[in-house]
Amino acid sequence: MNRVIYAFMGIEIIILVTILCPSYALAYPMKYKLVTDNENKTIMNVNVVSDDGKCVLTIENGTLVSDRTKKVVQEITITKIENILAESGDMEILAAYKIEPYHATFEPSAKLQIAYDFAYLNVGVKIYDNGWSSVPTNIDIKNNKIFAELNKTGIIALFVKKSKWIDITGYIIANQNTILAIIMVMVIITIVLKIALSKMG
């Protein structure tokens, strides 16, 4: 079962397609149309979603999206990139995406959200333009999401500093409710055992 998404007037239409031959895979580009007014500004919020569903770019109502020649951009796509290398030896790329068309600009900035699989405190977003440059970010450790604002398209990547150790602090913050529950259960078991032993003595 494959999910095909078409965008019409900013509204996503989801169609489920059954493929009879499981060994044959079809790829559908995720193209999101931008509907604009007579000033070439978007007339509604548009959430552009990557093909893996983990990267979302929100272009808000009233945004001017144009290319290098100042021509209005009609559609945006986000595609995950595999096997991309970091230029710094102490950094690791968790995920990378290309937002196309390249070198388009957002006025005002578009909002980026990326979900990832583990809680890191030292994670960040960078964009490539003749070299990697950092983008100011906010991290939601509990929900494993990172937020940033972009003023242009291009290749973006989620970077984390390499470490031989698990990011224990991030893990504890992300799983604090579960850890507290385990501690409470252990405390209760300890109390019950002490009471039982005192009665036996």
SS3 88: coil
Residues 6 or more apart whose CB falls under 8 angstroms from that of 101 comprise 67, 73, 76, 153
124-128, 155-159, 163-167, 180-184 — which is least confidently predicted? 163-167
pLDDT score of 74: 93
Distances (CA, A) of 56 to 61, 93, 116, 135, 153: 16, 18, 12, 16, 13
pLDDT score of 86: 64
pLDDT above 70: residue 173:
no
Tracing tokens 């209760």 back to the chain, one arrives at 188
Q: Report residue 171's pLDDT band, with 50, 70 and 90 as the boundaries.
A: low
pLDDT in tens, 22-47: 333 334 446 889 999 999 999 999 99
Model-level pTM?
A: 0.66
Q: Report residue 164's pLDDT band, with 50, 70 and 90 as the boundaries.
A: very low
pLDDT in tens, 103-133: 999 999 999 999 987 666 678 899 998 888 9
38-42, 168-172, 196-200 — which is least confidently predicted? 168-172
| Strands annotated E in the chain | 2-8, 11-17, 32-33, 46-49, 55-59, 64-66, 75-81, 91-100, 105-115, 123-128, 132-135, 137-140, 145-152, 154-161
pLDDT score of 76: 95
Contact 30, 100 (CB under 8 A): no
How far apart, in whole angstroms, are the C-alpha atoms of residue 140 and residue 120?
Answer: 10
Q: Where are the alpha helices (DSSP H) in the chain?
A: 168-174, 176-200
Average pLDDT of every residue of the chain:
78
Pairing, β 32-33 against β 55-59 = unpaired
Q: CATH class for domain 31-164? A: mainly beta
Q: Which two tokens stand for residue 12?
A: 């996503």
How far apart, in whole angstroms, are the C-alpha atoms of residue 111 and residue 51?
Answer: 18
